[in-house]
């Protein structure tokens, strides 16, 4: 399936607010109020959109994702899913990590994908049928019986995506999942992710430090300021038609706009510097 075929799928339209993060503070250590990773962090994510959280290394992107996953808890503010506080990990939030550390290397691809269904008590035939369908849908036809050590990095990431989809979460939280891949494999998986989004209409939060990747994938790009005391500087709507091409004028204009936002020093940061003199 090539990039042009993506236009045959229906386009998801955004719905109600799914995630609401308001006035969120998160500190390096207990009691260290002067060492905030995030301060006054604000973000809303609506149903059926891809929000790319973009920023330089160390700005707190992964911290924000971990708060949504329920792996960490805020020191201030609110992190809500459909209006209710997130107090623990949950099946409605599926996490795709960078690398393959979360895969079970003693299990075949099909059993890795079916693992969550097995924990829920789904019968073997049913869970394997679901896993085969998702492996086929993510480009892993014929790889069902292979172990992770027999697969490439891109294939391992496809297994992770299929495993999350098997649990049918409301939102997929993806932490730079393609960051360690070669350029060609990364481009293939970017296209694959868009096809999955079109087909499943899942909500996705995608963490990246790659501006072009954010523009290629996102319906919106939330640009974070440098840390400490990081927050979102601006959210940019990406209304380019799909499939998206890097060589268009509109793509280049968005790239330059977002690049400027990343490197801009926020007004309140300049005030803080003056007050410290």
- Percent of the chain, pLDDT > 90? 73
12 vs 17: which has the higher pLDDT: 17
Chosen domain end from 134, 168, 202:
168
Classify the phi-psi angles of 83: left when phi > 0, otherwise alpha if psi is within -120 to 50, otherwise beta: left
Residue 264 counted as domain residue:
no
- Could you tell me if 8 and 79 lie in one domain? yes
| pLDDT above 90: residue 13 | no
Look at residue 233 in the predicted model and tell me its pLDDT: 92
Which range marks the domain in which residue 66 is found? 3-92+169-238
Task: Tally the domains of the chain.
Answer: 2
- At 52, the pLDDT band (50, 70, 90 cuts) reads very high
Note whether 262 and 55 are within 8 A (CB).
yes
Q: Does position 40 have pLDDT exceeding 90, yes or no?
A: yes
* Whether residues 109 and 178 fall in one domain: no
Give the residue carrying structure tokens 């990081």. Answer: 230
Average pLDDT on 30-38 reads 73
Question: Average pLDDT of 230-236?
Answer: 94
Residue 54 and residue 163 in one domain: no
Place of tokens 């960051």: 179
Distance CA 38, CA 29 (A): 12
On whether both 107 and 10 belong to a single domain, the answer is no
Together in a domain, 86 and 180: yes
Contact yes or no for 104/118 (Cβ under 8 A): no
State whether 175 and 164 are in the same domain. Answer: no
Is 270 inside a domain boundary?
no
The answer to whether position 120 is within a domain reads yes
3-state helix, strand, coil in the chain (%, to 5): 40, 20, 40
pLDDT tier at 34, thresholds 50, 70, 90: low
| pLDDT tops 50 at residue 103 | yes
> What is the DSSP annotation of 85-144?
E--S--TTEEEE-SSSTTS-TTS-HHHHHTHHHHHTT--HHHHHHHHHHHHHHTT-TT-T
- Residues 122, 173, single domain; the answer is no
Cα separations in angstroms, 169 against 24, 96, 163: 24, 12, 11
pLDDT digits (tens, 9 = 90+) for 139-166: 899 999 999 999 999 999 999 999 999 9
Domain presence at residue 41: yes
Asked whether the predicted pLDDT for residue 31 surpasses 70, the reply is: no
Q: Are residues 88 and 179 in the same domain?
A: yes
pLDDT score of 6 more than 50: no
To the nearest 10°, the Cα dihedral for 96, 199, 218, 40?
-60
Beta bridge partners of 234: 223
Q: Say whether both 25 and 85 belong to one domain.
A: yes
Task: Please report whether residue 98 resides in a domain.
Answer: no
Residues 178 and 157 in one domain: no
The answer to whether the CB of 224 falls within 8 A of the CB of 54 is yes
Q: How many other CB atoms are there within 10 angstroms of residue 74's CB atom? A: 20
CATH number at residue 226: 3.40.50.300
Query: Is the pLDDT confidence value at 74 over 90?
Result: yes
Q: In the prediction, which pLDDT does 57 show?
A: 85
């Amino acid at each position: 399936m090539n990039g042009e075929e993506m236009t045959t799928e229906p386009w998801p339209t955004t719905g109600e607010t799914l995630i609401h993060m308001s006035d969120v503070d998160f500190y390096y250590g207990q009691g260290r109020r002067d060492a905030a990773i995030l301060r006054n962090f604000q973000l809303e994510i609506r149903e059926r959109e891809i929000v790319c959280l973009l920023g330089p290394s160390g700005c707190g992107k992964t911290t924000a994702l971990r708060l949504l996953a329920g792996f960490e808890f805020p020191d201030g503010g609110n992190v809500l899913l459909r209006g209710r506080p997130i107090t623990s990990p949950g099946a409605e939030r599926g996490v795709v990590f960078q690398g393959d550390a979360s895969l079970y290397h003693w299990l075949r691809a099909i059993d890795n994908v079916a693992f969550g269904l097995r924990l829920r008590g789904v019968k073997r035939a049913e869970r394997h049928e679901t896993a085969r369908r998702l492996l086929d849908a993510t480009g892993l036809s014929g790889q069902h019986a292979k172990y992770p050590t027999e697969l490439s990095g891109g294939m391992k990431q496809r297994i992770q995506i299929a495993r999350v989809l098997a649990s049918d979460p409301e939102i997929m939280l993806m932490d730079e999942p393609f960051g360690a891949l070669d350029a060609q494999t990364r481009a293939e998986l970017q296209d694959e992710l868009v096809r999955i989004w079109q087909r499943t209409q899942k909500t996705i939060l995608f963490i990246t430090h790659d501006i072009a990747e954010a523009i290629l994938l996102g319906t919106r790009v939330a640009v974070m300021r440098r840390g400490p005391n990081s927050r979102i500087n601006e959210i940019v709507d990406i209304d380019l038609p799909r499939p998206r091409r890097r060589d268009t004028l509109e793509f280049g204009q968005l790239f330059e706009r977002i690049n400027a936002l990343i490197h801009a020093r926020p007004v309140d940061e300049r005030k803080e510097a003056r007050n410290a003199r």
